Amino acid sequence: MLDGKARPRNDDVNDMCRMLGILSNKPISPLLLSDFRSLAENGKVLKGSQPGHQDGWGIVCYNEGFPIYLGRQPNSAMSDEFVKACKQFSQRPSIGPVIAHLRKASSEYGERILENTAPFIRDKWSFAHNGTIHKFNVEVSGARGTTDSEKFFLLLLREMADGGSIENAIEKTVDQIRKSFRYTSMTFLLSNGNKIYAYREYSKPDDGDYYNLMYAVDKNTVIISQEKTWLRDWVVIPNGSLAKVQENLEVCIQHL
């Protein structure tokens, strides 16, 4: 059990972001990243929040099984650095996985520094999270920043290190957080270089449209997105469910 206590929810400190995951068996078009960038300005936010997700961005792809940053900055994706990252991506095409994240910082974990900018990387793993785990005062080793998202990632890795399947580690970690902390959402993307794990869970029924997570499949590519940025046949991942995207692009859904 994690060392924490349930606390009243404070909607003024919600961490809001947009996430994108891609896995393909052919080179991924950099246009997908360029289109995703538009959500920095017009992406959905919770009711009463200022529009935009301009407090940081990051793009991770994999090289010989290990994650590398194409770009990562604690500023708006509308900057020239994002354009340079997309150009770099076009020059060294990847078949994935790719995970990208646009940050809208919260007042609770809001310091705009590189160390707080997702996706986060450790060894072969990459991770991005959308939501806030309030007063997440757990002890973890290896944290480089101050966000709840990075701690969430490190807890998942610690659970995986204890053995068992990745799915079981995810289930145990989210269940421990449910029992110990108030949270808006534990929705996340996780990859080990071969697969993408997409988990969706939000606590308040009215927030389901914002904390959306869905996927679309064609013969070459699986896209996981929070918004219908592209014209695709989208399948919504149910609340409290894990979607696992296999190397053969098969998608399996498991309720946790």
Residue 188 is classified by DSSP as: E
Alpha-helical (H) ranges within 16-101 are: 31-37, 39-42, 80-91
CATH number at residue 51: 3.60.20.10
Sheet containing 16-24, strands listed edge to edge, beginning at the edge strand earlier in sequence: 66-73, 57-63, 98-104, 16-24, 221-225, 214-217, 235-236
Q: What would the pLDDT profile of 191-237 be if each residue is shown by its tens digit?
A: 999 999 999 999 999 999 999 999 999 989 999 999 999 999 999 99
Residue 220 lies in a domain: yes
Q: What would the pLDDT profile of 156-171 be if each residue is shown by its tens digit?
A: 999 999 888 999 999 9
Write phi, then psi, for 202 (nearest 5 degrees). Answer: -130, 155
pLDDT of residue 166: 96
Distances (CA, A) of 100 to 39, 117, 157, 220, 251: 12, 11, 20, 19, 19
Nearest alpha carbon to residue 25 among 211, 222, 174, 178: 222
Residues, the chain: 256
- Range 143-166 average pLDDT: 94
Please check the confidence at residue 182 and state whether its pLDDT lies above 60: yes
Residue 155 lies in a domain: yes
Q: What would the pLDDT profile of 169-180 be if each residue is shown by its tens digit?
A: 999 999 999 999
Residue 256: burial class (beta carbons within 10 Å; 0-12, 13-18, 19+)? middle
Nearest alpha carbon to residue 21 among 193, 182, 169: 193
Could you give the CA distance from residue 33 to residue 70 in angstroms, rounded to a whole number?
A: 11
Domain count for the chain: 1
Please check the confidence at residue 8 and state whether its pLDDT lies above 80: no
Q: What would the pLDDT profile of 12-69 be if each residue is shown by its tens digit?
A: 445 679 999 999 999 999 999 999 999 998 888 888 777 789 899 999 999 989 999 9
- Range 80-86 average pLDDT: 93
Residue 215's domain comprises 14-255
Contact 125, 66 (CB under 8 A): no
Report angle CA 136, 103, 43 to the nearest 5 degrees. Answer: 125
Q: What would the pLDDT profile of 108-134 be if each residue is shown by its tens digit?
A: 877 899 999 999 999 999 999 999 999
Residue 55 lies in a domain: yes
pLDDT of residue 15: 61
Nearest alpha carbon to residue 128 among 203, 185, 82: 185
Show the tokens assigned to 25: 């068996």
Residue 3 lies in a domain: no
With a pLDDT cut of 70, the percent of the chain lying above it is: 93
Q: What average pLDDT is seen over the chain?
A: 91
Show the tokens assigned to 240: 């409290």
- pTM for the whole structure: 0.93
Residue 7 lies in a domain: no
pLDDT of residue 16: 75
pLDDT of residue 1: 41
With a pLDDT cut of 90, the percent of the chain lying above it is: 78
Could you give the CA distance from residue 168 to residue 159 in angstroms, rounded to a whole number?
A: 9
